[in-house]
Amino acid sequence: MAMTGVLRPGHAQLRVIDLDQAVQFYGDVLGLVETGRDGSGRAYFKAWDERDHNSLVLRKAKTAGIDHFAFKVRDRSTLERLESDLRECGVAVERVPEGEMLATGRRVRFEIPTGHRIELYADKEPALYPGQLRNPRPWTEAAEHGIAPIRMDHTLLYGPNVNQALGLFTEILGFYLTEYVTLPDGETKGALWLSCSVKAHDIAFVEHPEPGKLHHVSFLLDSWEKILRAGDILSMNKVPVEMGPTRHGITRGMTIYGFDPSGNRFETFTGGLQSYPDQAPIAWSWEELPSGLDYPQRKLHETFLSVVS
């Protein structure tokens, strides 16, 4: 098969300090669709155009950050094979039973060298996607409720040992490197973008002393004009915007970043290169990081490198 192994980012579970505020933000400002609450109080969301039950889970906690980031794999036998491959490579794997999350099958959880919990699963129940599987319309009213991204797209994680994480993702999980930034030494990779598909990034890492940190979860929009609209909506709602609208040199995508009420950074973006595993990764030197980050201004936004949750 052409698409095998890990298919795509499936869901992110975030910690939020005030759940009601977070639900209002992700539901009405970002414009995701709430699909349920579980017994432990977690709130589940999906993007209007996603077919599975959830792609974002919010858990009330004392501090912001990411609990885990999960990928959907092709099927159950793939899940078993990957679990076994991970164990063989010495990765400690934990099983999370079906039902621990709403609508989600059993998950395989492991910690990667950057201190983040990654999960794999094969099953998630479909969400209602009314009328969109037969003679669908190009969009529904939900596509204009808040920013209304098409899907949860990827995450950028900050932590130590990103090159060990690179090994794990490429050698065991079948990802490939699409772009990277070298540190001032000109050799060591300090920031990595990885894909399991033709997307420019399904996950990304930046070297950082503290383990397990979230830089952002990213949501896909349709067009550069929708980035402008996202900026309007964020401002109308007094959401702190860190950067953008602008274009990243890295990945070539267009973007705007802000912070949820708990201080978790999010991105809404569009565009960007499509990548294939037979292509060499694109290299960025440390000196050109400013143009990689904010191409028009060639500016290194200081908070972008330092503020994480």
The residues binding a copy of itself (CB under 8 A) are 1-8, 51, 72, 74-75, 132-139, 144, 151, 173-176, 196-199, 222-225, 228, 231-232, 234-236, 238, 241, 244-247, 249, 252, 254, 256, 271, 274, 276-280, 282-285, 288, 291-292, 295-298
Q: Residue 235: which H helix or E strand, with range?
A: helix 224-236
SS3 66: strand
- 145 is a catalytic site residue: no
Q: Cβ neighbours of residue 131 under 8 Å, at least 6 residues apart?
A: 137, 140
Q: Which is nearer to a copy of itself, 37 or 123 (CB)?
A: 123
- 154 is a catalytic site residue: yes
CA 128 remoteness from chain centre: 22
φ, ψ of residue 302 to 5 degrees: the values are: -60, -40
- 267 is a catalytic site residue: yes
d(CA 235, CA 82): 43
Q: Which is nearer to a copy of itself, 210 or 232 (CB)?
A: 232
Q: Taking the complex as a whole, how short is the minimal distance between the CB of residue 242 and a copy of itself, in angstroms?
A: 8
Q: Which is nearer to a copy of itself, 32 or 256 (CB)?
A: 256
The catalytic residue among 216, 225, 295, 301 is 216
Q: Which is nearer to a copy of itself, 48 or 67 (CB)?
A: 48
Q: Taking the complex as a whole, how short is the minimal distance between the CB of residue 176 and a copy of itself, in angstroms?
A: 7
- 216 is a catalytic site residue: yes
The catalytic residue among 26, 44, 121, 257 is 257
The catalytic residue among 53, 201, 208, 215 is 201
- The amino acid occupying position 297 is Q
- 257 is a catalytic site residue: yes
The catalytic residue among 53, 68, 116, 248 is 248
Q: Cβ neighbours of residue 127 under 8 Å, at least 6 residues apart?
A: 33, 35, 46, 50, 51, 52, 53, 54, 103
Q: Which is nearer to a copy of itself, 33 or 289 (CB)?
A: 289
- 11 is a catalytic site residue: no
Q: DSSP secondary structure string, 28-80?
A: IIS-PEEEEE-TT--EEEE-TT--BS-SEEEEE-SS-EEEEEEEEESSHHHHH
Q: Cβ neighbours of residue 2 under 8 Å, at least 6 residues apart?
A: none
The catalytic residue among 116, 154, 208, 215 is 154
Residue 36, burial from CB neighbour count under 10 angstroms (0-12, 13-18, 19+): middle
Q: Taking the complex as a whole, how short is the minimal distance between the CB of residue 211 and a copy of itself, in angstroms?
A: 25
Q: Taking the complex as a whole, how short is the minimal distance between the CB of residue 165 and a copy of itself, in angstroms?
A: 16
Is 29 in contact with 239 (CB distance < 8 Å)? yes
Q: Taking the complex as a whole, how short is the minimal distance between the CB of residue 114 and a copy of itself, in angstroms?
A: 20
Q: Which is nearer to a copy of itself, 35 or 58 (CB)?
A: 35
d(CA 194, CA 109): 19
Active site residues: 154, 201, 216, 248, 257, 267
